[in-house]
Structure 1
Amino acid sequence: MISSPSPRLRLTGAMATLAILLSGCATLPSSGPTGRQVLNGAKDPDAGLAFQVVELDGAAFQKLQQVQPAGRATGQLAALAREGRVDRIAPGDVLQVSIYEVGMTLFSSGRTAGPAGSVEPDTAHAQAINAVTVASDGTIRLPYVGRLLVAGSSPYDVQRMIEQALQGKSQSPQAMVTVVNSPGNSVYMLGDVVRTGRIPLTPARERLLDAIATSGGSRVSGADTVVRLTRGGERAEMRLGDVRPGSSDDLTLLPGDRIELINEPRSYSAFGATPKVSQVPFGEPNLSLAEALARIGGPNDAQADPKAVFLFRYDAAAIAAGERPVIYRLNLMKPESYIIAQSFPMHDKDLIYIANSASNPVTKFVAILNQLFAPLLTAKVLTDNNN
Structure 2
Amino acid sequence: MQRRGHLIAMGGALLLLGGCSSLPASGPTEYQFNRAQHDPRQNTVGYGIVQVSPELISVLDNEAPPRFSSLDADAPIVHQAHNDTVGPGDVLQVSIYEIGSALFSPSSAAMAAASASGTGTTPSPSTASSLPPVSVDGNGTIEIPFAGQIQVTGLTTSQVAEAITDRLRQKSQAPQVVVRILSDIANSVMVYGNVRQPSRITLTPNRERILDVIALAGGENHAEQADADYVVRLTRNAHIAEMPLQVIENDPVQNIVMQPGDRIQVTLQPRSYTVFGASGQVTQTQFHTPVLTMAQAISRAGGPLDARADPNAVYLFRFENASVLRRIGMVVDQNAKTAPVVYQLDMMNPSNYFLAQKFRMQDRDLIYIANSSSNKFYKFFGLISTIIAPGITAAWMAR
Q: Name the TM-score, length of structure 2 as normaliser.
A: 0.73
Amino acid at match of 2:182: V
CA 1:311 to 1:233, structure 2 compared with 1: closer, same or farther past 3 Å? Answer: closer
Aligned to 1:13: 8
CA contact (8 A) 1:81 1:251 kept: no
Alpha-carbon distance between aligned partners in 2 of 1:232 and 1:308, rounded to the nearest angstrom: 46
CA contact (8 A) 1:309 1:355 kept: yes
Q: How does 1:44-123 map to 2 (within 5 A)?
A: 48-54=46-52, 60=54, 74=67, 78=71, 79-85=74-80, 86-90=83-87, 92-108=89-105, 121=123
CA contact (8 A) 2:229 2:270 kept: yes
Alpha-carbon distance between aligned partners in 2 of 1:64 and 1:217, rounded to the nearest angstrom: 35
Aligned to 1:245: 252
* Offset, 1:186: 1.8
* Offset, 1:71: 8.0
Correspondence 1:310 to 2:303: no
Correspondence 1:294 to 2:307: no
Alpha-carbon distance between aligned partners in 2 of 1:322 and 1:294, rounded to the nearest angstrom: 28
Q: How does 1:1-387 map to 2 (within 5 A)?
A: 6=1, 8-38=3-33, 48-54=46-52, 60=54, 74=67, 78=71, 79-85=74-80, 86-90=83-87, 92-108=89-105, 121=123, 125=126, 127-129=128-130, 132-134=133-135, 142=144, 144-145=145-146, 148-149=149-150, 152=153, 154=155, 155-218=157-220, 219=222, 220-231=225-236, 235-243=240-248, 244-247=251-254, 250=256, 252-255=258-261, 257-316=262-321, 317-321=323-327, 323-324=329-330, 325=341, 327-331=343-347, 333=348, 338=353, 341-372=356-387, 377=391, 381=394, 385=398
* Offset, 1:22: 0.9
CA 1:245 to 1:120, structure 2 compared with 1: closer, same or farther past 3 Å? Answer: farther
Partner-residue secondary structure (3-state), 2:373: coil
* Offset, 1:356: 0.5
CA 1:322 to 1:362, structure 2 compared with 1: closer, same or farther past 3 Å? Answer: closer
CA contact (8 A) 2:142 2:152 kept: no
Amino acid at match of 1:286: V
Task: Give CA-to-partner distance per residue, 1:57-115, whole Å, 9 cap, x none.
Answer: xxx4x99799969989636972455422344434553322222223443445589xxxx
Moved more, 125-134 or 289-298: 125-134
* Offset, 1:173: 0.8
Alpha-carbon distance between aligned partners in 2 of 1:308 and 1:343, rounded to the nearest angstrom: 18
Where do 5+ consecutive residues of structure 2 fail to align? 112-120, 331-340
* Offset, 1:301: 3.0
Alpha-carbon distance between aligned partners in 2 of 1:273 and 1:135, rounded to the nearest angstrom: 68
Amino acid at match of 1:293: I
Alpha-carbon distance between aligned partners in 2 of 1:323 and 1:314, rounded to the nearest angstrom: 16
CA 1:71 to 1:285, structure 2 compared with 1: closer, same or farther past 3 Å? Answer: farther
CA contact (8 A) 1:224 1:263 kept: yes
Task: Give CA-to-partner distance per residue, 1:169-228, whole Å, 9 cap, x none.
Answer: 321112110102223432111111233211012234434333223324334434322222
Alpha-carbon distance between aligned partners in 2 of 1:102 and 1:320, rounded to the nearest angstrom: 75
* Offset, 1:287: 1.9
Amino acid at match of 2:28: P
CA 1:63 to 1:33, structure 2 compared with 1: closer, same or farther past 3 Å? Answer: closer
Count residues in correspondence.
362
* Offset, 1:330: 3.1
CA RMSD across the alignment: 4.1
Alpha-carbon distance between aligned partners in 1 of 2:185 and 2:58, rounded to the nearest angstrom: 49
Partner-residue secondary structure (3-state), 1:226: strand
CA contact (8 A) 1:90 1:134 kept: no
Where do 5+ consecutive residues of structure 1 fail to align? 1-5, 112-118
Amino acid at match of 2:324: A
* Offset, 1:121: 4.4
Alpha-carbon distance between aligned partners in 1 of 2:59 and 2:39, rounded to the nearest angstrom: 32
* Offset, 1:264: 1.7
Aligned to 1:114: none
CA contact (8 A) 2:52 2:355 kept: no
CA 1:67 to 1:370, structure 2 compared with 1: closer, same or farther past 3 Å? Answer: closer
CA 1:253 to 1:323, structure 2 compared with 1: closer, same or farther past 3 Å? Answer: farther
CA 1:140 to 1:334, structure 2 compared with 1: closer, same or farther past 3 Å? Answer: closer
Partner-residue secondary structure (3-state), 1:306: strand
* Offset, 1:372: 4.9
Alpha-carbon distance between aligned partners in 1 of 2:65 and 2:149, rounded to the nearest angstrom: 50
CA 1:275 to 1:160, structure 2 compared with 1: closer, same or farther past 3 Å? Answer: same
Amino acid at match of 1:319: L
Moved more, 342-351 or 198-207: 342-351
CA contact (8 A) 2:91 2:136 kept: no
CA contact (8 A) 1:191 1:262 kept: yes
CA 1:10 to 1:63, structure 2 compared with 1: closer, same or farther past 3 Å? Answer: closer
CA contact (8 A) 1:88 1:152 kept: yes
Q: Name the TM-score, length of structure 1 as normaliser.
A: 0.75
